[in-house]
Structure 1
Amino acid sequence: MSIVQSEALYGKRCKSPIGWFEVGEPSLLGPDLIYKTLEKVHIIRNRLETAYSQEKSYADQRRKDLEFEEGDKVYLKILPMKGVVRFCKKGKLSPRYLGPYEIFQRVGKVAYELKIPSELALVNLVFHVSMLKKCIGDPKSILPIEDLGMKDNISYEEVPVQVLDRQIKRLRNKKVASVRVLRKNNLVEGVI
């Protein structure tokens, strides 16, 4: 193993001059040995710096600096942890984001305080910027679950208003009737 490989591998200089040179290579003595060694160490350092800067540029392409202002609407990211119930949500199909919530004020360079409803009173009000996602669109167009009349099993009652169309499909041995109905719940009318 050469001195350059030794220093690159272990991060410190080799203490013994044995094994610095390849077989058949003429041995160097005195200042020539030190000069060649320092030259190889310099080359290795330059290559490591180049590799580091390339990796940093790749990482910086995905990084984006987020800044919010007071009054902006943001979603709050929920960290899924096995066996831990946070924000009254649990299970495989639990949402990844809650909200939208309004930003109350900026705390420090990368932290924001949110206006959170009283249901989540046990949660700290200050969150890191990485836990927030900007709400794009009009949050007023989002229908609140409370107004839909949702039950505990996440179902709601629909009322049929009018029969729009009827069809009878013939299979080999039987006939199947299908009906298109206009249904209405508390807020929305839809065709099903």
Structure 2
Amino acid sequence: MTFQAGEQVLLKVSSINGVMRFGKKGKLSPRYIRPFKILDCVRPVAYRLALPPSLSGVHLVFHVSLLKKYHGDRDYIIKWDSVLLDKNLQYKEESIAILDRDVQKLRTKEINFVKVQ
């Protein structure tokens, strides 16, 4: 995949718990944050991005595997301000509230289900 200078791309992030850069971590965990503008191509597989001052501790050059083309549909992108990232573009998951509880009864045991926000 190649990009041109001035294009908008999404940046891949990963969770601190069970970091899996190329695998699936969870169905509802954020995968990509806000579109960033590409400043230039450093190497054929490395691109320099224009990052905001809040991510000043993060290196500006990223491998092409961490980038995804931005198509302009904002429905599937999380607001990057709502996720606190460290210098390795990782975040810590925290539970907000327990929304629902349920018990499924099997023949010999009971399984408790908890819906967490």
Distance 1:126 1:101 in 2: 12
Q: Name the counterpart of 2:97.
A: none
When normalised by structure 2's length, the TM-score is: 0.52
Shift of the alpha carbon at 1:138? 6.2
Q: Name the counterpart of 1:124.
A: 59
Q: Secondary structure at the match of 1:130?
A: helix
Distance 1:79 1:145 in 2: 13
Correspondences of 1:180-191 after superposition (within 5 Å) = none
Q: Name the counterpart of 1:115.
A: 50
Q: Secondary structure at the match of 1:123?
A: coil
Question: 1:145–1:119: structure 2 CA closer, same or farther, 3 Å change rule?
Answer: closer
| Corresponding position: 1:133 with 2:68 | yes
Distance 2:52 2:63 in 1: 19
Distance 2:55 2:28 in 1: 20
* Greater Rg over alpha carbons, structure: 1
Shift of the alpha carbon at 1:80? 2.7
Q: Is the 8 A contact 2:33 2:80 kept in 1?
A: no
Question: 1:69 corresponds to which letter in structure 2?
Answer: Q
Question: 1:111 corresponds to which letter in structure 2?
Answer: A
Distance 1:77 1:120 in 2: 14
Choose from 33, 37, 40 the match for 1:98: 33
Please tell me the root mean square deviation across aligned C-alpha atoms, in Å. 3.0
Q: Structure 2: which 5+ runs fail to align?
A: 20-26, 82-117
Question: 1:125–1:100: structure 2 CA closer, same or farther, 3 Å change rule?
Answer: same
- Post-superposition Cα deviations, 1:68-117, rounded to whole Å, max 9, x if no partner, equal 00000000001333178xxxxxxx95411011000011101110000010
Dislocated runs of 4+, deviation >6 Å: none
Q: Normalized per residue, which structure has more helix?
A: 1
Distance 1:145 1:100 in 2: 10
Q: Normalized per residue, which structure has more strand?
A: 2
Percent identity for Structure 1 against Structure 2: 49
Shift of the alpha carbon at 1:145? 8.2
| Corresponding position: 1:77 with 2:41 | no
Q: Is the 8 A contact 2:9 2:68 kept in 1?
A: yes
Distance 1:70 1:117 in 2: 17
